Amino acid sequence: MNRKTLNAQRRTPNIKFRSWRVAEIPNGEYDSKRKPPYDLEDRLLEFAANIVELTESLPNTRAGNHIAGQLLRCGPSSLSNHGEVEAAESRRDFLHKLRICLKELRETKRWLRLVGRVKKLGSPANLVTCLNEVEELIPIFVASIRTAEKNAK
């Protein structure tokens, strides 16, 4: 059975998991019969897509290209690193990968704040959406790290 670990939680043998199927439909959205009310992976996917759209709307200048490149490296990486969290080989590895996600989100926040501050970059698409989402994602990862550290003791 294909099991999915949600919200950066590790599987434990004493918990029964519900199985639910997810199918991708043509427009890139996902549909499921029994989808959990909150899925961090979907949120990170949407955040990564918004970062890509934001970088595409930055001007084609030296500064715009540099900032776009930095944002493209750190912004979507939390999505791929979250996948690594789910595949962690030990509790120590799990915590390390969670911390990497948090580090990348904090770096993304700083670049987004710079985009908002530099007037010559204009008003890129999704800036406010991305800033709001990164402000919500950071505390989620901080809480996950604290919980994992507490459970490790």
| pLDDT, tens digit (0-9, with 9 covering 90-100), for 7-47 | 445 454 443 334 444 444 555 555 555 555 578 999 999 99
Asked which of 4-13, 49-58, 95-104, 121-130 is least confident by mean pLDDT, the reply is 4-13
- Give the burial string for 21-48 (b: 16+ CB within 10 Å, else e): eeeeeeeeeeeeeeeeeebbbbbbbebb
Residues of the chain with pLDDT > 90, as a percent, come to 69
Q: Which CATH class is domain 39-152?
A: mainly alpha
Give the other-Cβ count within 10 Å of 3's Cβ: 9
CA distance 124 to 130: 11
